[in-house]
A and B are shown apart, each in its own frame.
Chain A
Amino acid sequence: MKRIAVVLGRGGHTAQTFALVDLLGNRFSYLYLIGLLDRLTPKKVRIKGTIRRVLAPRLLPQDSRILSMIRTLFTMLLSFIYFMLYRPAAVVSCGTGLTVPVFYAARFLGIKTVFIESMSRVESLSITGRLLRGKTDLFMVQWPGLADRIPEAVYGGQLL
């Protein structure tokens, strides 16, 4: 059975991500990458999988750049190790800020990357979306008007 790695952040991204996992269903096994201090998200998992922890690049707006950079590198390294161990066929994300370092590790290992911009984005991309456009195997948005504006984007319907 192929495995899919799922990047999970806090809040609305999470609801969209789990909706996607429900749609993908039991034909895959799952590796969930969740922020270190996030105690709520693991409780929301509906299709069981392996949970591994990464570090959110920014916890608070006032966090220093150096600290975020170290966290980002650490997350990239952690993802690299998890991907070596669990060998997912693809890694998917619905737009959380955690995504960038995880996707870089995936690309390095030739694992397919799928980014779905949050449904909150009606008119323009998020920072994460802007950083990743053109650098993923699949780049989806959830509003047709936004898909028209971003050449790299495919309209993927709405997850919620």
Chain B
Amino acid sequence: MIFLTVGTAMFDPLVKVMDKMVGDSIIKEPVVAQIGRGQYIPRNMRYFRFIKSLSKAYDSADIIVSTGGAGTTIECVTKGKRLVVVENTTLMEGHQAQLIGEMARRGHLIWCRDPNSLEDCIEEARQKTFEPFVSQKPRAHELILSLLGESE
């Protein structure tokens, strides 16, 4: 199963491209799309708008196509999922490029810079090995505790 997610925003261009690929039988496996506040309603694939947690969808997907939101990106690379990112450049403060770039450089995701080349990116994701990203230990809470004079 391929899982497409746009996160809390919307990104119709990507949903449209994917829907067309399914309609044209370029993609033969089932696709499920989370379309957020999008206006475009898919005709060829199952879809839903929002759900409390996408974790189950990530777990059952073979390939995840996302728009590069921090939450999705980090959850998927940490799990070592096959992740293809088409950056949603329409967002206001949507400068996700830094995180996507860093994760792409480290080989944890495939950065698909053109939605029209999605087919190739998905094929590349099928072939590639994705090593899970191991994040650094947080110490933000320790710094906050010491700021407030609380002990661990």
* Chain A positions near chain B (C-beta within 8 angstroms): 2, 4, 10-16, 19-20, 23-24, 27, 40, 43-44, 58, 60-61, 89-90, 92, 97, 112, 114, 116, 118-124, 126-128, 137-138, 140, 142-144, 154, 156-160
Contact = CB atoms under 8 A, between A and B. Distances in A.
A160 B147 contact: no
B96 interface: yes
Interface string B117-152: 000000000000000000111111101110110100
A129 B41 CA distance: 36
Name the residue among A14, A44, A114, A160 with the largest chain B CB count within 10 angstroms: A160
Contacts of A112: 147-148
A89 B150 CA distance: 11
B138 A157 contact: yes
A12 B147 contact: no
A12 B72 contact: yes
A126 to B, nearest CB: 6
Contacts of B136: 142, 144, 157-158
Contacts of B95: 120-121, 126
Interface in B31-83: 50, 52-53, 69-75, 78
A159 B138 contact: yes
A121 B70 CA distance: 9
A128 B92 CA distance: 12
Contacts, number: 112
B74 to A, nearest CB: 4
B139 A11 contact: no
B74 A123 contact: no
Given A40-B50, A43-B52, A119-B99, A90 B147 contact: yes
Contacts of A19: 138
A23 B141 contact: yes
B70 A58 contact: no
Given A89-B148, A122-B102, A156 B74 contact: no
A12 B141 contact: no
Contacts of B52: 40, 43-44
B29 interface: no
A119 B53 CA distance: 20
Contacts of A159: 138, 140
A154 B136 CA distance: 14
B143 A138 contact: yes
A23 B144 CA distance: 11
Given A12-B69, A120-B98, A160 B74 contact: yes
A90 B148 contact: yes
